[in-house]
Structure 1
């Protein structure tokens, strides 16, 4: 199983570089199901993996002028602050067993993964929607909307331990009207900052297996270098739709697995 996990982590970087997101969508299930990590450790490691790969990707995108700096700052700074507080304060305060009755027990792992899956499914519907329904005209969105969206996104991504690309991309597409490839570059910049902020919060709360983490991060980074080839070959609409279907498929997989796990093993 671990061999499959190492291979899959290479594709995490490939997806990040090509689609601007999807890294956390895959890395969290990979770390939980293939490496048997607990959910909080998996989300912490996912933040570091995705943050490092996204940083490399954003540097590459900046060289091709596919980053909108102002959008990244207006959206990213509020998101950065919120994700740090969420990972450092809110996540550690959630008990391991959220709800227990005589016949039912609901754990932190199940709650986070089900929220993760539902969020992915909702976002995927927006990504797969016709292009005209997704986009807003440029300059139509106020700075206040961007700040509020950044705060909400920071809380959600901090809660599920994701870099947030699968949330940030549809939000930026709708609020800014920027081309998909520019949104990808801007999202990678935001993800890198947010992920490292979230991971910093985890460093103070748990021990980190640095040799293992650096190896799997290196695999993801190697994938992002190859992603540039695929980005040049595909159009904006093709990338957006492919990303949407990936999010939907993964969300359904995680939801079905966790619901089956909960009802099959938790009820007594």
Structure 2
């Protein structure tokens, strides 16, 4: 299972390089089911892996002129606030066992995986939709952009997911960015959010296996480089719905596994 996990880690970066997002949504299942990492700790590890991969991807887009720094900051600053509230204040207060129904206990780990599976299903539906006809606002609405940033921070803080499937449509619609700039700016936002969230976890004493994290991040980075090269030959937009179906099946599997197996 561990070797399968290393292979699956390539997909994290591959999808980022090929379709501009979606890879981070696979990080938690890979860590939990293939590397047997505790779900709560996996949210911290995911922040590091996603943030590191997004950093390299964002730098590639920076060289291509696809980063809008002002928009990224307006989005990221509210996100950082909600991330810190969730991870440093609310998350540690959630009991290991939240409640019990008859003899069935609903644990903190179970809640994380169920909510994450719902997020995967939502992301999958978003990937399968055609956003090419999205009607954009003529002017950037920084107030709405900041509000969505705050909401994305809640998702990132609780689940350790980058939230690119939420960020990119928000940048397209509310910031009126072209698609390439939306992808590049999204990676910068993901890097900022993930880095702040992970730093907060280190501050409160979360145990970290850096050797393992650097290894997985390196594999994901290699996958991203491969994805960037393949994107020059393959239309990532056409592959997005296919990847969406894959994520949907995984999301349904996680719900079934956690509740019934």
Task: Give TM-score, length-normalised by structure 2.
Answer: 0.90
Match of residue 59 from structure 1: 59
Aligned equivalents of 1:127, 1:221: Cα separation in 2 = 22
Deviation at 1:260?
A: 2.1
Aligned equivalents of 2:171, 2:241: Cα separation in 1 = 15
SS state of the match for residue 162, structure 1?
coil
SS state of the match for residue 233, structure 1?
coil
The answer to whether structure 1 residue 110 and structure 2 residue 110 are counterparts is yes
* Superposed CA offset, 1:126-153 (max 9, x none): 33223356x2324345111001000011
Going from structure 1 to structure 2, the CA distance change for 1:249 and 1:9 (only over 3 Å counts) comes to same
Deviation at 1:43?
A: 1.1
Going from structure 1 to structure 2, the CA distance change for 1:123 and 1:211 (only over 3 Å counts) comes to closer
Aligned equivalents of 1:201, 1:41: Cα separation in 2 = 13
The answer to whether structure 1 residue 210 and structure 2 residue 210 are counterparts is yes
SS state of the match for residue 232, structure 2?
helix
For the Cα contact (< 8 Å) 1:83–1:157, is it kept in 2?
yes
Match of residue 264 from structure 1: none
The answer to whether structure 1 residue 96 and structure 2 residue 96 are counterparts is yes
Match of residue 80 from structure 2: 80
Aligned equivalents of 2:243, 2:140: Cα separation in 1 = 24
SS state of the match for residue 36, structure 1?
coil
Deviation at 1:243?
A: 4.9
Alignment RMSD: 2.1
For the Cα contact (< 8 Å) 2:18–2:230, is it kept in 1?
yes
Aligned equivalents of 2:256, 2:6: Cα separation in 1 = 24
Match of residue 69 from structure 1: 69
For the Cα contact (< 8 Å) 1:180–1:236, is it kept in 2?
no
For the Cα contact (< 8 Å) 1:136–1:176, is it kept in 2?
no
Match of residue 171 from structure 1: 170
* Superposed CA offset, 1:185-239 (max 9, x none): 1111111111111111211232111122221121112222222112333447425
Match of residue 22 from structure 1: 22
For the Cα contact (< 8 Å) 1:127–1:170, is it kept in 2?
no
Going from structure 1 to structure 2, the CA distance change for 1:180 and 1:259 (only over 3 Å counts) comes to farther
Match of residue 200 from structure 2: 201
Deviation at 1:184?
A: 1.6
Task: Give TM-score, length-normalised by structure 1.
Answer: 0.88
Deviation at 1:90?
A: 1.6
Aligned equivalents of 2:79, 2:246: Cα separation in 1 = 24
For the Cα contact (< 8 Å) 2:18–2:236, is it kept in 1?
no
Aligned equivalents of 2:74, 2:138: Cα separation in 1 = 14
Gaps of 5+ in 1: 262-268
Q: How many residues align?
A: 260
Gaps of 5+ in 2: none
Aligned equivalents of 1:221, 1:6: Cα separation in 2 = 12
SS state of the match for residue 106, structure 2?
strand
